[in-house]
Structure 1
């Protein structure tokens, strides 16, 4: 493997590893309320919920934002990058989801910039006037380090899906084997979503996961909570 490819793979695996400290374990994207409401009761219902979120909800939307941010940053189009960052921060459906994506985005930027400092990255971040949503942060950092978009978006969606499954495993609960089986079953869904996001424009943004949006909103007033969203 060429040295530059090895370095890119190393960074991508590090940044999107469950151990990278962005605080993802604190958030469930509304899954906690869905479990309490009885929408998610086992591995099969969790798989259906997550497949919908990937194909018609936060998954595809975040994938599009990541792809567009990466393309704008790679082209040094700071004006467009700022517009994408503003739209992504405003696009989330609830206060808690806004907290989730911007908190993770801020942590991702701060840690990646400190450990892998890059002067070009500082300039790109300065072009974003709004708080950076998590997918935009990943797109900007990976572009600044010349990491190709296709593996970045696949790794990002894998990381997001893994965190959703981890939340479900703690809430339902599920065993380790069932969790890994679920991740394997969602592999083609993640791949298809990544491919769609790579080819999509901002005009194709949109979601139809109304129950998931309601879950995120109702979680704000849920009596007992383990997660922040």
Structure 2
């Protein structure tokens, strides 16, 4: 059977008449993205998508150990656990870092960004949680610089490397959102949604749960995400830090789990 590529060009042309066209020239690259007006929603959907190549799928944020311990055995357990992370753990802390990074980037406050990055890198409570934040942060800056042509991301990565400061995802993503001029409310909610959705996906695979259970969890977490994002924007100078102690302990114990699927 002939494929669509076997048809004559004239047979395909009417399908695409009137559609916006993107250049597929061999030299099309980051400059093509910079030349077009930025579409905030388009960027946010891409940058927080599971397909964005920062390796988020390989981290469970300690959830794998919690499943092993029996602390997470149902969809309700998973939802409550992630809600705790959002309200009292990395969700709350990283939302604050992302807000401050976005505002510092928009204000061209390079020294402020470096100081913020140093603080964020120091607050990881476990080696694997540090790996999770730092590897994803570095990959985020690299992908946005090379794939989306955001030169500030490459410059920031170079300054961090020169200062010996590892990038974290919250600061990297917040700063890139600020440089790209993304609406702050959308940016913070999208980042928190991406964090929560990735953990739901990990839980669905680990417990295991059905995909519908996973969607119920994401739906239930929506108001929590909105509240945490709004609070982070109202109080950007709030001292960073969390009190999700059980989650921190499971992250520490995950480092010695004999057989595992995830890196954190």
TM-score by length of 2: 0.82
After TM superposition, the structure 1 = structure 2 runs for residues 73-152 of structure 1, keeping only pairs within 5 Å, are 73-128=105-160, 129=163, 130-152=165-187
Superposed displacement of residue 122, structure 1 = 3.6
Do structure 1's residue 64 and structure 2's residue 96 form an aligned pair?
yes
- Indicate the residue corresponding to 1:173 in structure 2: 208
Q: How far apart in 2 are the matches of 1:109 and 1:201?
A: 22
SS across alignment from 2:52: coil
Q: How far apart in 2 are the matches of 1:206 and 1:120?
A: 28
Which structure has the higher relative contact order (CA within 8 Å, separation 6+)?
Answer: 1
SS across alignment from 1:204: coil
User: Larger % of helix: which?
Assistant: 1
Q: How far apart in 1 are the matches of 2:159 and 2:237?
A: 19
What is the count of residue pairs matched by the alignment?
A: 226
Runs of 5+ consecutive residues of structure 1 not aligned to the other structure: none
Do structure 1's residue 211 and structure 2's residue 211 form an aligned pair?
no
- Indicate the residue corresponding to 2:47 in structure 1: 15
Runs of 5+ consecutive residues of structure 2 not aligned to the other structure: 1-35
After TM superposition, the structure 1 = structure 2 runs for residues 195-210 of structure 1, keeping only pairs within 5 Å, are 195-210=230-245
SS across alignment from 2:167: coil
TM-score by length of 1: 0.94
Structure whose alpha-carbon radius of gyration is higher: 2
Q: State the superposition RMSD in angstroms.
A: 1.4
